Amino acid sequence: MSQLANLTILEVDALTDLDGGLNLTDGHARLVLTEEQAAIVARIPEMFTEACRRPFPDVEREAHQAFLAAIGQHSAPVGTGRILSCYSSTLATDIVARALPSGATVAVLHPTFDNIADLMVTRGLTLVPLSEAQLLNQEWPGSPVSAIAVTHPNNPTGLITPEGHLRSLAEHAVRHGQTVIIDASFRGQVREAQYDTYAVLDEAGADWIVIEDTGKLWPTHELKIGLLAYSERTTLPIMRAFSESLLAASPVVLQLIKELSADWVNGGYERARELVDTNRATLAKAIEPVGLRLADPTSQISVARVELPAEGLDSSLLHKAMLTKGVHVLPCAPFHWADPEEGLRYIRLSLARPYQTVETGARLLAAAYRELR
């Protein structure tokens, strides 16, 4: 693996593989539409007509309401103008990074998806790691940290920030004049992560920013929305940074999200959960005979880390071996953005794939490890 390769570059390599290798990299839902989802997608021409006929604010508000209600966020500021629709959660993260004061010190969860750290560093911010152990022990950083960024649930570990811990963080941030930033891109996949975050933050009187994402839930081929919500207390120039990046998200996509959200609360969640659980169990069973195990067996998000023994080959070597077998996975060093060496003992696979794809990838992972060992 090149030292310059971030996780997204590896995901792009998998997506554009001309030889048609198995793509078990990104956490997007690359699945066959369910019967219910296919019926919704078939109505996209109607959504174009509606986009011409109806005011954009009405379409956007209804989509926000439907999606946020479907994932338990009933106190989100729908209709206030403080939820912005972006093309993706990555763009939303970049907008936040630009709105924060240049040179500010931000505590960022470690490990987590590397583009969060990369975007903030690119925008002139100084980062310090907040470990998952520190989060669970409620050891919150003080000065000079002016913002604390948490991923909930965390990617790649699946760690959920408990409601009481978020309340503790919010109250700490109020006392220290800090902004709480939450990336909740995987929230829709996990019921336990769907307590009302906005209520917790507002009850504490916190200055907060929350990023939501629809791209991890449905196989809509990048027809997705990243939501950027912020508190009425913030003085950060978020709207200015947003306006420098885009005019608006597509009203057609917003209508699609609204309809898929309705399906999500009408059995869609359970159908997706069953597939991810089956794929996780299949991966665990395939790697167990060669002495490997899941690093996060209780995780519920649609990715899984495989832990390698402390002594022996590291994930960069296993990643290369998998490529020779036509399988794209993610070595985990880049997730450990502040200390890549920590990530050499892990490799990550996406579970948001058809069963046969995951079964084949898991079997080839075991074979590659056996051969290298």
Say how far apart CA 297 and CA 158 lie, in whole Å: 9
| CB neighbour burial string for 230-259, b if at least 16 within 10 angstroms, e if fewer | bbeeeebebeebbeeeeeebbbbbbbbbbb
Classify residue 2: in a domain, yes or no. no
Q: 232 and 185 in one domain?
A: yes
Classify residue 209: in a domain, yes or no. yes
Q: 85 and 25 in one domain?
A: no
Q: 276 and 250 in one domain?
A: no
Say how far apart CA 258 and CA 252 lie, in whole Å: 10
Mean pLDDT across the chain:
96
Per-residue model confidence as pLDDT tens digits over 118-132: 999 999 999 999 999
- Determine how many CB atoms are found less than 10 A away from the CB of residue 18: 5
Q: Quick one: pLDDT band at residue 38, thresholds 50, 70, 90?
A: very high
Classify residue 345: in a domain, yes or no. yes
Query: Is residue 170's pLDDT more than 90?
Result: yes
Per-residue model confidence as pLDDT tens digits over 133-145: 999 999 999 999 9
Domain CATH number, residue 113: 3.40.640.10
Q: 168 and 103 in one domain?
A: yes
Q: 121 and 234 in one domain?
A: yes
Query: Within 13 Å, how many C-alpha atoms sit on residue 76's CB side?
Result: 30
Classify residue 316: in a domain, yes or no. yes
Residue with tokens 């570059």: 9
Residue with tokens 């909740």: 184
Per-residue model confidence as pLDDT tens digits over 81-110: 999 999 999 999 999 999 999 999 999 999
Tokens representing 372 are 């290298």
Q: 270 and 254 in one domain?
A: no
Domain CATH number, residue 323: 3.90.1150.10
Q: 214 and 144 in one domain?
A: yes
Residue range of the domain that includes 345:
7-34+266-372
Domain closes at, from 226, 246, 262: 262
Q: 217 and 81 in one domain?
A: yes
Say how far apart CA 246 and CA 4 lie, in whole Å: 28
Classify residue 59: in a domain, yes or no. yes
Per-residue model confidence as pLDDT tens digits over 285-301: 999 999 999 999 999 99
Domain closes at, from 240, 262, 284: 262
Q: Is the dihedral of CA 291, 281, 37, 83 positive or negative?
A: negative
pTM of the model: 0.96
